[in-house]
Amino acid sequence: MGAGRRLGLFIHYAGGERELFDVEQLLQGAREETGLSDFGEDDYREPLERLVAALNTEARLNDFGRIRAQMTLAAGLCDRLRIRDYVQQHPEVCNEVVRRPVFIVGLPRTGTTALHHLLNQDTGNRTLRLWEAQNPVPPPETDSYHSDPRIAKQREGVALTETFLPGFLTTHLIDAEEPDECYMLLNRSFMSVEYSAMFHIPSYANWLYANLCQRDSYAYHKLQLQLLQSRHPGHWVLKAPFHQLGLSQILRYYPDAIIVQTHRAPMSFVASGCSFSELLRRSGSDHVERAEIGRDWMEMLTIYTRTFEADRARLEPEFPGQFLDVRHDDFVADPWPAVEAIYRMRGTALSERGRLAMQAWLEAHPQGKHGKHEYRLEDYAISRDEVQALFADYVERYGLTME
């Protein structure tokens, strides 16, 4: 039996209709794939059930979309089993201390990726590399961190990206050994925005937005950082736009965290985000409507912005000196003030070796290296008035322009 079947990829046709996803079959497929049975606390069940229901009733998946969704769900369950098994065998993982992590939390398309990749060039920083994020057990070892066989396997997957997602590499930096977003850590509790980015599943997305910080989601996030750093320590530098929803949980579990908020003129990043979402969704569905994407994107930006701004206003006085604002245009013109500020806030020095590595990366990755990404608000049925209404206070607060 092939690995796909063992992972729960039970696609077949019966009477001409696609079979619905089934939670119990997904669970059983993960048990069979790993030989393990303990998923840990059952707080993952409701999110998984809501996600499966939304995929079954709202996503309008094509064949590739179903395969992609099933593989993502199955991987999350298998990883959950393996993480549980490893921690039970190595309980000392839970004693790991995550010190002064940096969380890059700007809205999508505001420069978070460039800043993250730049900081990654300093070997003193510990980023979440794609290969380890997707294959966390066993945790990486320092001695084999750049030669682990999982890297080559991940490269094979990255090489297929352009085949299944044409245009993706012009919009997002991705490589097996490069840092990626830590939404993958929440995939294993099924409280992740990756699913709503890939598929039109509004019932799940709206539930997620309302419940991410009500369900202790970052406890499991922290456990995985403890696991990953147990054999390869370092100062974590993490990023994901969805952290806009998780500020209160981040500061609960990482009370000494540095919060870096990136900013950009809203008229630039709103349409860009819609275009990126369209690219992701078109591979998985034959029924992608741009106006629908526009509505989903604006709803997401509204809840992200309102949640983060309210939480920041409430929490920043309690955590003084832990918030930093980075404006996209300033960063592009001269990244060093932002980089140096992060190191000062963290209380660590930027070595000459780290600075030279960052400079080399900047020279090798000029803006627009991978091509120009074209996008327009009107393509997604979003008016300029809507964007101005949503971000008027934001623009004024951070000294930005709307354009």
User: Tokens at residue 393, please?
Assistant: 């206070």
Residues 35 and 72: their CA atoms lie apart, in Å, by: 19
Q: Which whole-number Å values give the CA distances from 350 to 233, 238, 355, in the listed order?
A: 18, 17, 7
Q: Which whole-number Å values give the CA distances from 125 to 80, 102, 238, in the listed order?
A: 26, 10, 10
**Tell me: the pLDDT tens digits for 99-125?**
999 999 999 989 999 999 999 999 999
- Higher-pLDDT residue of 375 and 289 is 289
Give the per-residue SS3 of 232-262. Answer: CCCEEEEECHHHHCCHHHHHHHCCCCEEEEE
**Cα within 13 Å of Cα(120), Cβ side:** 22
Whether 225 and 290 have beta carbons less than 8 Å apart is answered as: no
pLDDT over 60 at 372, yes or no: no
Residue 9: its pLDDT value, please? 38
Residues 389 and 266: their CA atoms lie apart, in Å, by: 11
pLDDT over 90 at 398, yes or no: yes
pLDDT over 50 at 13, yes or no: no
pLDDT over 50 at 276, yes or no: yes
With bands split at pLDDT 50, 70 and 90, how would you rate the model's confidence at 357?
very high
Residues 50 and 40: their CA atoms lie apart, in Å, by: 19
User: Tokens at residue 194, please?
Assistant: 């990756």
Residue 190: its pLDDT value, please? 96
Residue 2: its pLDDT value, please? 34
**CATH superfamily placement of domain 98-397:** P-loop containing nucleotide triphosphate hydrolases (3.40.50.300)
**Tell me: the pLDDT tens digits for 283-323?**
889 999 999 999 999 999 999 999 999 999 999 999 999 99
**Tell me: the pLDDT tens digits for 219-274?**
999 999 999 999 999 999 999 999 999 999 999 999 999 999 999 999 989 998 89
Mean pLDDT across the stretch 324-345? 97
Mean pLDDT across the stretch 155-175? 65
With bands split at pLDDT 50, 70 and 90, how would you rate the model's confidence at 6?
very low
User: Tokens at residue 376, please?
Assistant: 């327009």
pLDDT over 90 at 333, yes or no: yes
Helical H segments across 90-216, by residue range: 112-120, 130-134, 149-159, 161-164, 183-187, 194-198, 202-211
pLDDT over 70 at 384, yes or no: yes
pLDDT over 90 at 34, yes or no: yes
pLDDT over 90 at 11, yes or no: no
Contacts of 11 (CB under 8 A, 6+ apart): 18, 19, 63, 66, 67, 70
The DSSP code for 179 is B
pLDDT over 80 at 12, yes or no: no
Please list, residue by residue across 1-40, b when 16 or more beta carbons sit within 10 angstroms of its beta carbon and e when fewer do.
eeeeeebbbeeeeeeeeeeebeeeebbebbbebbeeeebb
With bands split at pLDDT 50, 70 and 90, how would you rate the model's confidence at 215?
confident
Residue 369: its pLDDT value, please? 55
Residue 164: its pLDDT value, please? 60
Q: Which whole-number Å values give the CA distances from 333 to 141, 216, 360, 366, 395, in the listed order?
A: 37, 39, 16, 11, 20
Please list the residues that pair with 285 across neighbouring strands. 61
- Does an H or E element contain 102, and which? strand 102-104
Mean pLDDT, all residues of the chain: 89
Mean pLDDT across the stretch 320-336? 96
Residues 286 and 80: their CA atoms lie apart, in Å, by: 31
Phi-psi region of 8 (alpha: psi -120 to 50; beta: other; left: phi over 0): left
Mean pLDDT across the stretch 28-52? 96
Determine whether 237 is exposed, middle or buried from the number of CB atoms within 10 Å of its CB (0-12, 13-18, 19+): buried
Residue 329: its pLDDT value, please? 94
pLDDT over 90 at 23, yes or no: yes
Residue 157: its pLDDT value, please? 77
Residue 7: its pLDDT value, please? 37
Lowest mean pLDDT among 77-91, 131-145, 204-218, 235-249: 204-218
Residues 174 and 204: their CA atoms lie apart, in Å, by: 27
pLDDT over 70 at 374, yes or no: no
Lowest mean pLDDT among 78-87, 170-179, 334-343: 170-179
User: Tokens at residue 199, please?
Assistant: 């598929």
Residue 385: its pLDDT value, please? 96
**Cα within 13 Å of Cα(383), Cβ side:** 3
Whether 391 and 266 have beta carbons less than 8 Å apart is answered as: yes
Whether 42 and 220 have beta carbons less than 8 Å apart is answered as: no
Helical H segments across 286-378, by residue range: 290-315, 328-333, 336-346, 352-364
pLDDT over 80 at 354, yes or no: yes
Mean pLDDT across the stretch 137-157? 94
